[in-house]
Amino acid sequence: MTDTSAPTNLPTPVQIEAIPLDPQGDTDAPANWVRWAILILSVATAGSGWMAWSTQKKVLSLEQELVRRQQDSQSQATEARVLARQAQEASREATARTTLLETRIAEVALQRSQVEDLIKTLSLSRDENLVADIEAGLRVASQQATLTGSAEPLITAMQSADDRLARARQPRLDNIRRALAKDLDRVRATRVADTASLTIRLDEAARLVDEVPLLNQPEVVMAPAAKAETAAPKPNGAAATNTKSAGKGKTAASQAASATPAADNTPGWGSHMLDWTKGAAQTFWNETRGLIRLTRINRPEGMLISPDQGFFLRENIKLRLLNARLALLSRQNAVALADLQNIQATVPRYFDLQSRKTQLLQSMLNDVAAQSQQTTVPRPDDTLAALAAVSGGR
């Protein structure tokens, strides 16, 4: 039999109860909240990400749509500009065509009027045709004479008209012949300016402007005594020492003395020395007198002009000469005369009037101004009046 009873002296074992861990207790509660929070946060993150992706997709689609619409609007604007340009070109073409049509209509109307005048002219009698033809020829010749500045076209037309009237032998045309003879004498007696020669003179004057000396830069003029010595004959070659230095004078004098005959050695040497002394003294006096030059200045502005101003003054005169030339060619004699008078007033103010070139320039300007004042070709007014009287009395 087994003894199941424990000895009395052994310690009694302590019963320790195990405390069960409650998963639903205090430790699991925060973990559950964290899980739920993480889950909610994940869902929110996923939702926000989906919304962001969706929003971004919509934004991209909107941007693409905006870009497409902008491109469409740009293309439409380009097309609109092209169409506007085409419309402008079409409008210009239409305007040009309209102008051309109007011009052609005017030409047709003019041609029609000319044809009507021609038909009317052809319906006139022989004398009336002759009168009308002479009148038209005289008017054309008068215009040609006015344009060319020559009376030859008008004289030729009047002579031809007189010959035709003489061949007609009509008594009622005698008044026209008398008026024609009077106008012909008046045209022949009229002096007309020769434009070609005047333009040539103006070109020569323009070339001469560069050579004319200014008032503050006069040409070097020899003294009267020096001119007399230069012009006077110098015997035995001794007078050549008058225009040279003293050393050269001595050499020339010694050469002249050696060139004299031996028989007249003593008197010739003394006379040569006397001539040399006079020549040297005269040369010294001329050189000394040339150091000081007194000039009367009536217009001080001409002496105060600088070289640059002188250059521009010459160029201004050239331009005025060119303007006068163009005015003469265009039959504007008043304009040409005004420019020439301005130049004539400028030359004495700034240029040396003692210079021969200045005098030549003034002479050219005076000649051109005098010839440009000549009257133009007169009109055959008496003849035209007689022709009109005959035409009106038919």
DSSP codes of every residue in 222-278: --HHHHHHHHS--GGGGGGGGGS-HHHHHHHHHHHHHHS-STTHHHHHHHHHHHHHH
Res 337 pLDDT > 70: yes
Q: How far apart are CA 245 and CA 80, in angstroms?
A: 95
Average pLDDT of the segment spanning 314-340: 88
Binning pLDDT at 50, 70 and 90, where does residue 30 land? low
Q: How far apart are CA 352 and CA 216, in angstroms?
A: 8
What pLDDT, on a 0 to 100 scale, did the predictor assign at position 148? 72
Tens digits of per-residue pLDDT, 338-389?
Answer: 999 999 998 888 888 888 998 999 999 998 888 877 657 778 888 888 888 8
pTM above 0.85, yes or no: no
Average pLDDT of the segment spanning 44-53: 85
Tens digits of per-residue pLDDT, 76-103?
Answer: 898 898 999 999 999 989 999 999 999 9
Which string of b and e fits 51-83 if b means at least 16 CB within 10 Å? Answer: eeeeeeeeeeeeeeeeeeeeeeeeeeeeeeeee
User: Domain map of the chain by residue range?
Assistant: 124-192+378-392, 195-216+302-372, 224-257+265-287
- Which of 386, 322, 390, 380 shows the shortest CA–CA distance to 154? 380
Q: How far apart are CA 361 and CA 344, in angstroms?
A: 9
391 and 132 Cβ atoms separated by less than 8 Å: yes
Which of these ranges, 4-13, 309-318, 357-366, 368-377, has the smallest mean pLDDT?
A: 4-13
Q: Over pLDDT 90: what percentage of the chain?
A: 13
